[in-house]
Amino acid sequence: MSETAIEYVESAFTIELLKQVRALDTYDTYAGLTPAEALDPFIMTKERKREIPIVGDPDEITMARVQAFYNAVATSIEQRCGLMAVPMIKLSHEGFGRVLITVGRLVVADRTLRDVHRFGFPTFPKLDEQAEKLITEAIEWIEKFTEVAKS
C-alpha cells in the first residue's frame, strides 16, 4: 500500500472484485493482505497518476487488474440476472483496446480502453459507482432484449 492510504469502502462490488483479484493471484502475492491493501492498486489518485508517465506500456500486473475488474463486473451481472456473462478483453502491448461483455448473443457492455498503464479510479466510491453504472446498463439491455440474452 502506498504512503498515502486511501480509505477503503466495502460494497458488494468490492467484495466481488477482491474475490477476482485473489483468484488471479497464482503466486499468493495478496495472501496476507487486507482487502484495502489488495485493492489499493485500483485507486489512481491524481498524485499517483503524476508518478506514472503519460505514455507507457502496461505490465502483466496492470493487465491482470483490468481483467479482474471486468471479471467482477461480469460476475455481478450474472448474479443479478441469472444468465452467464462473459468478458472479452483485447489489449495491444501499448495499452489500447476494448472490453466487451456478452450475455448469450447480446453485447451488454462495450468499453474502449486507453492508457491502461494508468488504469484505476480516484476513490473506492468512484470505483463502485463506475462498476454499478456498467452493471445497471447491462441489466437494462438484458431486460430489453431478453430473448437474445437467453440464446
Inside any domain, residue 6? no
Q: Following DSSP, what letter does each residue of the chain receive, concatenated? A: --SSPPPP---HHHHHHHHHHHHH-TT-TTTT--HHHHHGGGB--HHHHHHS-SS----HHHHHHHHHHHHHHHHHHHHHHSS-EEEEEEE-TTS-EEEEEEETTEEEEEEEE--GGG--BSSHHHHHHHHHHHHHHHHHHHHHTHHHHT-
**55 lies in some domain:** yes
Burial class (CB within 10 angstroms; exposed 0-12, middle 13-18, buried 19+) of 9: middle
What is residue 19's predicted lDDT score, i.e. its pLDDT? 95
Whole-number pLDDT of residue 52: 82
Which is more confidently placed, 25 or 79?
A: 79
Identify whether 51 is part of a domain. Answer: yes
What pLDDT, on the 0 to 100 scale, is given for residue 75?
98
Q: Please indicate, yes or no, if residue 5 is contained in any of the structural domains.
A: no
pLDDT for the residue numbered 5:
56
For position 101, what pLDDT does the model report?
98
Q: How many domains does the chain have?
A: 1
Distance (Å, rounded) from C-alpha 42 to C-alpha 66?
9
**Average pLDDT over all residues of the chain:** 91
Q: What percent of the chain has pLDDT over 90?
A: 70
Report the candidate in 10, 20, 40 with the shortest Cα–Cα distance to residue 87: 20
Task: Let me know if residue 63 belongs to a domain.
Answer: yes
| Radius of gyration over every alpha carbon of the chain, rounded to an integer in angstroms | 16
Instruction: Give the pLDDT of residue 1.
Output: 43
Give the tens place of pLDDT for each residue, 98-148. Answer: 999 999 999 999 999 998 888 999 999 999 999 999 999 999 999 999 999
Q: What pTM, to 2 d.p., does this model score? A: 0.90
Residue 101 lies in a domain: yes
The pLDDT of residue 4 is above 50: no
For 33, the domain range is: 12-149
Distance CA 13, CA 21 (A): 12
2 within some domain: no
Question: What CATH number has the domain bearing residue 141?
Answer: 1.10.3100.20
